[in-house]
A and B are shown apart, each in its own frame.
Chain A
């Protein structure tokens, strides 16, 4: 177990810069997730940490040792790949012990270690099989077993679940989280799946175009996104972005919404909007903040009820998503399935702006930071 420091790492291929100065530091035992759309540089960063790619500038420290120019095998890290990369000609047991063998661990110790890992991951019955005889989930376990056997300082996971079907993916997700809690290892995990990021991470680094957009705990990133990109990327269904005009009511800046009728919504940080009166800003409101009127909340500060026209409903079992138009933007609302909402009807909904955020329409910057 070790801490990891990524200090101003840059990576260039010719003239194109794919990593533009990455700064991330995590403590020993932390679970860091690198998330972002494809091409954001997260896999390049992962390969740089592993030493499979050289960095053009900056430093990488593992356990306070500068490993920027250390070869991969001497960094004491293990990696789980998207394709699992199991050695096809070796049995499961040989796959798990290969790294130990390369490090000249005696045969008896290797066998003990293989047993330990196999029990941990419940793959004892598979030890004599070849990878081709395993299912996707089993291969995934073996790939993790191979990483665990060496007890490295740092684990790297490169989209390990994206080749699994949806159900298995959720199971393995929980499995990985349990494993992390049990072993307390330092993990860097790359994914493009924001739900995986939310559920697994101690801290998330949201990346785009070779830059870290925001580094924070899942809740920080969810509640307090640094910019429009982070706000839109994290959360499912995505945050609603409503272009809203800032109007002054009794000296207080409010956000004007045209639903079925026109209302003005209060904003928790009015000082952020004072300089924008008369302009249009982007109001960010998560779907669960637009619900059917809830008696215990109605009447509180920042809670406004108004009529909306239902366009489409999407029942999801636990909730029903109601899609409507506000200020000409399509928005998702999360309501109780028992709340009557027939398509085409006009119903009363409750807008809770206590956690609302606002962005500059042109630049996407947060205005209320």
Chain B
């Protein structure tokens, strides 16, 4: 803001614009948050109350039974142990997949940006194509590949699929971030006697915190929320929580238990929500840092 405008009386036009702006923002936020509010309210009511009340009516008592049922007793198909085992399955898939794809992306980006070789730009362009391949396209070939590798229907297989699919994105993130690092840094380290991995570990990785956070959030969200790979490549015991949630909602004995469905859906969404709340500010910061400098 220029010096002249400081201390100047704001005109009524400016005030009106400000009010309009906030009104629009509040409406948008409400529209966006409304479904979540409905989910939360519904999960706290009992079935009777859901049937008689409206969507937005508040629950008469704070009833957490739907939550405990969703967690430990609800039936998915003919297995009635709630979604908790699948919740753990998801973690078993997500944690290694995120770590491996992030590490591979970091090394790829490091090579493509700072150890350019003949054809490295072409290699990067080819890798970029990977970002634009729709999930459905690779289902059949991937199923064959997993079978051939002997890891079909296993957690390892799902981790493998997510790593392969994620590397294109993680490489892109790291490559763009490392473009801003001057090549002279690597030259100096080489003259100082450091090798490829020493430079990566001692000099490049310590600079990479923002982009690591971005990549981890991105990959965590993508892999946790994945349904298609989960439903196609998991076995009976290795289904991720997204698939279990679908099964839970589609399994009914008599009346539909909306409160349990909602509680399960919220539980399934909690980890990504937590990651974003904890590290969200780094996410925005890291994305823009790469964008401006790259």
Interfacial residues, chain A to chain B (CB-CB below 8 A): 50, 52, 72-73, 77-79, 81-83, 85, 87-89, 98-99, 102-103, 146, 150
Contact = CB atoms under 8 A, between A and B. Distances in A.
| Chain B interface main SS type | helix
Interface string B174-192: 0000000010110111111
A83 B192 contact: no
B203 A85 contact: no
Nearest to B188: A85
Contacts of A150: 192
Contacts of B198: 102
Given A79-B188, A81-B184, 12 more contacts: A52-B191, A73-B194, A78-B191, A85-B182, A85-B187, A85-B188, A87-B185, A87-B188, A87-B189, A87-B203, A98-B194, A146-B188
Contact of B193 (A52, A81, A88, A102): A102
Nearest to A80: B188
Contacts of B193: 73, 99, 102-103
Contacts, number: 54
B203 A89 contact: yes
B206 interface: yes
Interface string B193-224: 11100100011001100000000000000000
A346 B191 CA distance: 61
A78 B190 CA distance: 10
B187 A79 contact: yes
A202 to B, nearest CB: 23
Nearest to A143: B188
Contacts of A88: 207
Contacts of A89: 203, 206-207
B192 A73 contact: yes
B190 A52 contact: yes
B187 A98 contact: no
Contacts of A85: 182, 184-185, 187-188
Interface of B: 182, 184-185, 187-195, 198, 202-203, 206-207
A152 to B, nearest CB: 9
A81 B185 CA distance: 9
A72 B188 CA distance: 10
A63 to B, nearest CB: 17
Contact of B191 (A50, A82, A83, A87): A50
Given A87-B189, A88-B207, A89-B203, A102 B184 contact: no
B189 to A, nearest CB: 7
6 closest A-B pairs (Cβ-Cβ)? A102-B193, A99-B192, A89-B206, A85-B184, A85-B188, A73-B193
Nearest to A98: B192
A83 B184 CA distance: 7
A75 to B, nearest CB: 8
Given A83-B184, A85-B184, A77 B191 contact: yes
A82 B202 CA distance: 22
B204 to A, nearest CB: 9
A50 B192 CA distance: 11
Nearest to A99: B192
A146 B207 CA distance: 20
Contacts of A146: 188, 192
Nearest to A74: B193
A68 to B, nearest CB: 17
A204 B185 CA distance: 28
A98 B201 CA distance: 13
Contacts of A72: 187, 190-191
Contacts of B191: 50, 52, 72-73, 77-79, 99
Most-contacted residue by chain A among B187, B192, B194, B198 (CB, 10 A): B192
A132 to B, nearest CB: 11
Contacts of A99: 191-193
9 contacts: A52-B187, A72-B191, A78-B191, A85-B184, A87-B185, A87-B188, A87-B203, A88-B207, A150-B192
Given A88-B207, A102-B198, A81 B187 contact: yes
B74 to A, nearest CB: 49
Contacts of B182: 83, 85
Contacts of B189: 87, 98
B40 to A, nearest CB: 43
B177 to A, nearest CB: 14
Nearest to A79: B191
A146 B194 CA distance: 14
A103 B192 CA distance: 8
A151 B185 CA distance: 20
B192 A81 contact: no
Contacts of B194: 73, 98, 102
A190 to B, nearest CB: 13
Most-contacted residue by chain A among B182, B188, B191, B206 (CB, 10 A): B191
Nearest to B181: A88
Contacts of A103: 193
Contact of B187 (A50, A87, A102): A50
B169 to A, nearest CB: 26
Contacts of B203: 87, 89
B244 to A, nearest CB: 43
Contact of B190 (A73, A82, A83, A87): A73
A78 B191 CA distance: 6
A81 B188 contact: yes
Contacts of B190: 52, 72-73
